[in-house]
């Protein structure tokens, strides 16, 4: 079968090539790939900056935002041939740490977890893949190709669960939420927040393209420019850019008793505010700054239910490009109006 593989930490090694059929040891369920979403992590792996091959191997099959169709349900008692499924990305560490031991591998304490398509397990960018019954999620068939958005939705499902959990530390009646960054994660966050009784705002650099209209279609308000220029202090900020200045401004802008959830990963940035001043603002306003990554099985379940509630037409507009596997290089390229690009292996 054909797969998109890469030699991690080596730039220029990605290729679409013939590899053996998936090993039965990878799980009793055999799946035909329908589509795989592409994100910044895939680009980083291809650029040689990130990623680990499976033990004893030099190459890694790329891809973690999966959608597939069951060929053989194997040991699963709930799946049948033809069901649309997605594969959970992370696996618990082998020790396991206390969090992995109770199924909270998203909160792994020793960093020895593994991840399909990223860290030591082959991913989903192959014509066929195998998976264990406990790590597969059947999706609402009416989602079709949109099921490929479930993985990014799990990330936001966990992040918002963190926000709500932290909110319960005191009497809390949030009225406004701000999402910074209108990429797939930011737009899905805005969608999820729009289901709550909240005034939702989204801030992004893009002045044109599809983003402003996608935000307005949710009944939310679209902003460009600086967080500091907003005329309100958000009770919740979901930060999806990972950009230093946006994070610094968000810490300053979040309202009294507010929660800033950091869901974007970036690097560098020049501090424009003294750390002591940032801390003082957080103390005097009882603010919480929380980081959130990955998702466990509960979030996958909630994400697939949540996504099924979205307007299909709106969701469909998030997938701005579909590329064939042999054109994976084009899929990894960022174009100005891209939101989510997917590599399509077969028709849904």
Chain residues binding Zn ion by CB under 5 A are 93, 97, 100, 108
Q: Which lies closer to Zn ion via its Cβ, residue 42 or residue 93?
A: 93
Minimum distance between the CB of residue 114 and Zn ion, rounded to whole angstroms? Answer: 10
Minimum separation from the CB atom of position 108 to Zn ion (A)? 3
Q: Whole-angstrom Cα distance, residue 65 to residue 342?
A: 9
**Alpha-helix residue ranges (DSSP H) falling in the chain:** 40-46, 98-101, 150-167, 184-194, 211-216, 244-253, 275-284, 297-308, 312-316, 328-332
Cβ-based neighbour number of residue 85 at 10 Å: 23
Of 65 and 93, the one with the shorter C-beta distance to Zn ion is: 93
Tokens of 164: 């709500």
Task: Name the residue nearer to Zn ion (CB basis): 180 or 296.
Answer: 296
Point out which residues pair with 272 in neighbouring strands: none
C-alpha torsion sign, points 67, 73, 74, 77: positive
Least CB distance from residue 262 to Zn ion, whole Å? 21
Nearer to Zn ion by C-beta: 108 or 188?
108
Closer by beta carbon to Zn ion, 98 or else 225? 98
Query: Residue 26 and residue 120: Cα distance in Å, rounded?
Result: 12
CB of 293 to Zn ion, least distance (A): 13
Residue 26 per-residue DSSP state: G
Closest approach of Zn ion to the CB of residue 95, in Å: 7
Least spacing, CB of residue 255 vs Zn ion, in Å: 35
CB of 109 to Zn ion, least distance (A): 5
The Cα–Cα gap between 117 and 343 comes to 14
The residue among 106 and 235 lying less far from Zn ion, judged by its C-beta, is 106
Nearer to Zn ion among residue 93 and residue 239 (C-beta): 93
DSSP-assigned states of every residue in 51-109: -BPPTT-S-EE---EEEEEEEE-TT-SS--TT-EEEE--EE--SS--HHHHTT-GGG-S
């Amino acid at each position: 079968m054909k797969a998109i593989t890469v030699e991690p930490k080596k730039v220029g090694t990605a290729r679409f090539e013939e590899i053996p059929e998936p090993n039965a040891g990878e799980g009793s369920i055999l799946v035909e790939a329908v589509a795989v979403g592409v994100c910044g992590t895939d680009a980083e792996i291809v650029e040689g900056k990130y990623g680990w091959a499976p033990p004893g191997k030099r190459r890694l099959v790329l891809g973690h935002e999966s959608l597939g169709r069951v060929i053989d349900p194997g040991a699963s008692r709930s799946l049948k041939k033809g069901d649309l499924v997605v594969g959970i990305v992370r696996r618990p560490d082998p020790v396991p740490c206390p969090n992995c031991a109770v199924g909270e591998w998203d909160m792994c304490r020793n960093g020895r977890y593994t991840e399909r398509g990223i860290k030591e397990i082959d991913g989903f960018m192959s014509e066929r893949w195998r998976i264990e019954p406990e790590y597969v999620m059947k999706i609402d068939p009416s989602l079709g190709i949109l099921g490929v958005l479930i993985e990014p939705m799990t990330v936001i499902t966990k992040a918002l669960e963190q926000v709500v959990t932290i909110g319960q530390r005191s009497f809390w009646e949030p009225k406004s939420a701000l999402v910074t960054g209108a990429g797939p994660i930011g737009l899905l966050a805005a969608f999820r927040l729009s289901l709550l009784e909240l005034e939702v705002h989204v801030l992004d650099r893009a002045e044109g393209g599809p983003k402003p209209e996608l935000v307005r279609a949710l009944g939310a308000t679209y902003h460009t420019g600086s967080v500091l220029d907003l005329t309100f202090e958000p009770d919740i900020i979901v930060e999806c850019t990972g950009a230093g200045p946006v994070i610094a401004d968000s810490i300053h802008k979040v309202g009294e008793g507010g929660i800033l959830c950091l869901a974007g990963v970036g690097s560098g940035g020049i501090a424009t505010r003294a750390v002591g001043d940032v801390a003082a603002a957080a103390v005097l306003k009882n603010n919480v700054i929380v980081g959130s990554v990955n998702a466990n099985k509960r979030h996958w379940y909630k994400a697939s239910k949540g996504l099924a509630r979205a307007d299909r037409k709106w969701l469909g507009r998030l997938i701005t490009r579909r590329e064939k596997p042999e054109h994976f290089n084009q899929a990894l390229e960022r174009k100005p109006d891209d939101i989510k690009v997917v590599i399509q292996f077969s028709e849904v």
